[in-house]
Structure 1
Amino acid sequence: MADLIRRYVVMGVSGCGKSTVGAAFARQIGAAFLEGDLLHPPANVAAMAAGRPLDDAMRAPWLDAIAGRLQRAQAPGLVVSCSALKRAYRVRLAAGGPVTFVHLVLSEAEARARVRARPGHFMPDSLVASQCAALEPLGADEPGWLVQATLSTAEILQHLAARTEGQI
């Protein structure tokens, strides 16, 4: 299976640990890691920094950029951090080939606390409520897994290792 390309999106609301878990998971499986926030157009970053939530039209070019990176992934694979809040976004992300989603589940209160404690990030805690309102949890019919974001990174990685054993 060495030539098999695996594509993962670590998803959830701001503060759930997408970047931390995504980078660690990529190292664990020997894949590349892409911080999805780096692909946001400057206007999106400015809007969020000003406390304005993104709408579907604003997210479209960002999602398309991430989908393009997923489609061009090389073996053994790519792990991307991306909120992927709605099912329609996940369908868009997977349009170029199969993607497995890792939904890091976190309460709104915990997400707000984590975002407040995160220095230097453009996303204010005031936007967590809008993300939680927009979130459509990963469905049982979607490829991927729900994982409690309150687990330690090591525990999350153990869970993912058990799920991906033999795949890479």
Structure 2
Amino acid sequence: MLSKNQIAMLIIVGSSLTSACVFAETDSPTSIGPGYAVPRTVDQMLSIDAQRALMNEQRLLLEEQRKGGFGRLSSTTENRIEPAEVKAPKPSEIPVQIDLLGIFGIGSVLQADVEINGSRYRYKRGYELPVGVGNDFRYRLVSINTPCISLSDTNGTPRKVCLSRTSL
């Protein structure tokens, strides 16, 4: 249990902290120069920041509308903004870069090093998938016939890739 002296000390400290908090919140902002005031609370700073951001966004929107972008002003007195017509881009497949780096081996035991979009893979004759990849890999080996290889992707589209003259 607390003694009477400890309770009295606790009351004095609590009341002084409470009065200090009330004083700090009701105190006016400190002036750092003519026309400038330092905000005292986080709420005031957030409010100022939000007002500045809103004004900046409204200014940018009006500039874009004058240029004919983002939206256009409606003819009503409310000055509502209607979205401009936006055409969705056509879906297109990203082109795949496939290069045959080399074919090597003896007799019918051939291997081919292939670079697909910057990643290197090694195919072995008789195996569809490159060494070390899983069944979800997109490109399957169809054949190795020097100086070319044939691949097919998961859609069944055939691709024939040959050694370049600099590789021969």
On whether the aligned pair clears a TM of 0.5, the verdict is no
**Bigger helix share:** 1
TM-score of the two chains, using structure 1 as the length reference: 0.22
Higher relative contact order (CA 8 A, sep 6+): 1
**Bigger strand share:** 2
